[in-house]
Structure 1
Amino acid sequence: MSGSLPSGPPSDPKPATCATNSPDETATTSTTTTPSTPEVSSLSPVQIPLSWPPDSSLTLDWIQNLIAAFDWSSKNLPHLNSLQSSLIDDCNENSKVVVVGDVHGQLHDVLFLLQDAGFPCEDRFFVFNGDYVDRGAWGLETFLLLLAWKVFLPQRVYLLRGNHESKYCTSVYGFEKEVLAKYGDKGKHVYRKCLGCFEGLPLASIIAGHVYTAHGGLFRSVSITPSKRTKGKKNRRISLNSETKLLCLGSLEELSKARRSVLDPPWEGLNLIPGDVLWSDPTMKSGLSPNTERGIGLLWGPDCTEDFLKKFQLKLIIRSHEGPDAREKRPGLGGMDEGYTIDHVVPSGKLITLFSAPDYPQFQATEDRHKNKGAYIVLKPPRFDVPEFHSFEAVTPRPVVKAYYDYEDVIDSDEELDLASMVTST
């Protein structure tokens, strides 16, 4: 398979041995951890400025210095304000897979999560389910850190795309302004490079043949046929077949062929599947319908979850995309107090929503905060289909910073968006 779900991942050239900071192997299926706040020296304890290794070969020491540098800098430096494989099939009897939901630039919570779960290594895979940037003040550091892990262990770290890995969202919810502020006159170039990375991120993953993960979730079937065209590729046109007017679930084969290089709308033709995967939400109402709440993507019911799991012989769907603020507006579905919810329980398995940003959002217009926990999931052999939920509280205190976006007036991404402005932003 190619595209969103290519097959045949090679083994890592130099897999790391597991670090000693892994969690207790006898952890129960649901745990909650209260992070401690590390003491921070006023003098830099790390190598700053950061420099790329001369031979372009990353090491564990280099990444640990990167973690320390980001952590120290966020608390001590002045605050500025102005495609690869996603078919994870080389797990063995000693492997664990850690699945992470939205993190939204909350760097210090990500650093804690990595310490709590244990660093990626030969027998510990990580699947990040998108939304690395926006809203939080350290989206750039968060994304660069995860990219460093990806370069260091390319077949152990999987970075999927979220709906906020787009030009529209990053221009509205802070990431673009963050990059421009932190990189100055080189900011536009760095921002374009980040957008290029977003285009290459996979849309979904299949873990050990039993678990499907994607940021938003399920997607429609789209049948396309090329229309008559004149000579030359520039004049090629794609038209939808009439049967696509009736919504039905798409297949993994269609997902593997979907375009993932599109950053923003128009959501039509070949762009429909990535739009669904990134923006769709579950509901307790049966069937498949347009997601009128967001204005993008789909809503799917328990019957669709059962159909998808049964058809592709899966046991779990793990998606993200909805934090505590979004779930307040979703009657019939559980809240996000613990960092996860089990939304559908059907004969073939379960649908889980996972959110890994505690005390979210970082910036909030009201005094009453959600004070939600974040969570990550650990999957273990032999089938990797029984989730262990690990909830954790936010690292406190957060360094005092200002937001990179107008969080008091900006529209929430879980509300109906201005599609016209999304199109013109491309």
Structure 2
Amino acid sequence: MSDDNVNAASAAKAEELKAEANALFSAKHYAEAIEKYTAAIEANPKVAVYYSNRSACYIKTEAYGYAIADANRAIEVDSTYTKGYYRRAIANMALTKFKDSLRDFRIVVKRAPADKDAKAKMIECEKIVRRVEFEKAIEHNETIRSVADTLDVEAVTVEDSYDGPRMNEETKTIDKEFLDQMIARLKDQKKIHKKYMFRIIMAVRNIMLESPSLIDIDIPENSKLTVCGDTHGQYYDLLHIFELNGYPSATHTYLFNGDFVDRGSFSLEVVLTLFAFKWLYPNSLYLARGNHETDNMNKIYGFEGEVKAKFSETMFKLFSETFNALPLAHVIKHKILVVHGGLFSKDDVTLDDIRNIDRLSQRQPGTEGLMCELLWSDPQPENGRGPSKRGVGTQFGPDVTKRFLEHNGLDMLIRSHEVKENGYVIEHDGKCVTVFSAPNYCDSVGNKGALINITSDMKLDYRTFDAVPHPDVRPMQYASQFGGMLGV
């Protein structure tokens, strides 16, 4: 139908579809709502609100690239439609495109000066932009050293009043008893001493600094490897994984495939527990960087605010420096590549190309290149490549996966990065598996979590599990002003 030729019947049908879509959106059935808004747009493509409402659905499903495209279309259809600018501002903020977001928030506030919500978000955005610019300015100051280099951990005093687990002061290391007591204490929403926190983080940072960007993992006979996807600050579900599937040991290795933090409000407990296991059993637990182990995401989605609330800015900076050192990929027995996001916008990328990424100098992944795509890309059902629904990275089809695997002598790709109803999905002719380990994501999605157990003879066993109760702390508790808008 021509944009200029919408008859009354089509316009009426479009309004009916919009009403159905609105009801689905209110019920949090976002995929179905997107279908209805799309049908409304097909019936009458000249109504800005249809695009804006579909943009809101895409924001809720983290498809921020699509959300921006729809907001742009709403503005093209009606440049006076203020909500289009608001949707675009929210989606750009989710992608940490702070200046673009601020530009739109200023338009919204100018047009709707009585809108307190928009004004509060604009002010928050202004603060973030100023802070980011300040951080970039001091980045080039050669006299600024890392927190790890300037922190004198041993000068920190453990007070007599501290009633938590204590490290052996002769060896300055942890043992299984300390780890068990730490887990029990964190489960009770208590802290361990900041001196021990610093030691654990510093120890893991040192391990990671010695690790390549791509790590080879073997599975000895009579052993198994468990691959877990996103855990997103859901500490009690992390503990449930260990209770269901066993704890790391000499014969049971774990690989946690990124996104340990953000969204869930027990992110510090999750990452601290994983770090402690890594220090105690360095060859029985592996950690990969996800797109949420990055500064800009932590500013928005809660981890920075959580660490500052529970400890200090110094503690967060030390976590940040450690995240910068996390490996980007793992290869299991030379046959299965495991990365957080996915594949690349070009063919002929080799494992050596991944291995040679200078992640320590690059630090943050940026918005293009191999490091970015490893953390951000997603599979698509169609052959070829497409623009990312997220607005960062790329989407890659079955043919892209097949060529990459054949080029590198691999059998399969395992990745995470996306919530799945049953915790995992097998696609691309069985060659691409998504595993997601945060059940009932953000306390609202209702999905199962999943993990993959792999034996020494490379047999894969998929295990799903439900969420368990946790203390009454809402997701995104420590997030910025935008947290509520960016929750699922």
TM-score by length of 2: 0.59
- 1:295 deviates by 1.7
Q: How many residues align?
A: 303
Q: Judging changes above 3 Å, is the alpha-carbon distance between structure 1 residues 62 and 408 closer, same or farther for their aligned structure 2 residues?
A: closer
Q: Are the aligned partners of 1:218 and 1:249 in contact in 2 as well (CA < 8 Å)?
A: no
* SS at structure 2 position matched to 1:111: helix
User: Which residue identity lines up with residue 73 of structure 1 in the other structure?
Assistant: Q
SS at match of 2:431: strand
Higher radius of gyration, 1 or 2 = 2
Counterpart contact for 2:341–2:378, Cα < 8 Å: yes
Q: Distance in 1 between matches of 2:222 and 2:269?
A: 31
Any idea what the Cα deviations from partners look like across 1:58-88, whole Å, max 9, x if unmatched? 222221111111111269xxxxxxx325533
The question of 1:278 aligning with 2:375 is answered: yes
Partner of 1:360: 441
Aligned to 1:178: 306
Distance of 2:221 and 2:451 partners within structure 1: 21
Pick one of 152, 163, 185 that aligns with 1:69: 185
CA drift of 1:254 comes to 0.8
Residue segments in structure 1 that go unaligned for 5+ positions in a row: 1-46, 76-82, 221-246, 324-335, 363-368, 414-426
Whether 1:392 and 2:476 are equivalent positions in the alignment is no
Cα distance, 1:298 vs structure 2: 1.0
Distance (Å, rounded) in 2 between the aligned partners of 1:58 and 1:113: 22
Which stretch of structure 1 is more off in the superposition, 310-319 or 199-208? 310-319
Q: Following the alignment from structure 1 to structure 2, what is the Cα–Cα distance between the partners of residues 302 and 151?
A: 38
The superposition leaves residues 172-197 of structure 1 with CA deviations (integer Å, 9 ceiling, x where unpaired) of 000111011001xxx11000000011
Secondary structure of 1:150's match? Answer: helix
For residues 342-398 of structure 1, the C-alpha deviation after alignment (integer angstroms, 9 at most, x for no partner) is: 1211xxx52100000001113xxxxxx32111011000121x2x32111011112x2
* Residue ranges of structure 2 left out of the alignment (5+ in a row): 1-161, 192-207
- Tell me what 2:478 maps to: 404
Alignment of 1:259-298 (within 5 A): 259-261=358-360, 262-264=362-364, 266-268=366-368, 272-291=369-388, 293-298=389-394
Measured in 1, the distance between the counterparts of 2:400 and 2:374 equals 14
- Equivalent in the alignment of 2:176: 60
Counterpart of 2:384, as a letter, is: G
Alignment of 1:145-294 (within 5 A): 145-183=273-311, 187-220=312-345, 247-261=346-360, 262-264=362-364, 266-268=366-368, 272-291=369-388, 293-294=389-390
Maintained 8 Å contact 2:289/2:323: yes
Partner residue, 1:421: none
State the AA in 2 paired with 1:350: K
Identity %: 36
User: Alignment partner of 1:391: what SS?
Assistant: strand
Contact 2:215 2:327 in 1 (8 A): no
Q: Flag the 1:124–1:138 CA change in 2: closer, same or farther, 3 A.
A: same
Q: CA deviation at 1:95?
A: 1.4
Relative contact order, CA 8 A, sep 6+: which one is greater? 1
Aligned partners of 2:167 and 2:178 also within 8 Å: no
Counterparts of 1:201 and 1:52, CA distance in 2: 25
Closer/same/farther in 2, CA of residues 116 and 407 from structure 1, 3 Å limit: farther
Instruction: Give 1:312 deviation, angstroms.
Output: 1.8
- Say what the alpha-carbon RMSD is for the aligned residues: 2.0
Structure 1 range deviating more: 308-317 or 353-362: 308-317
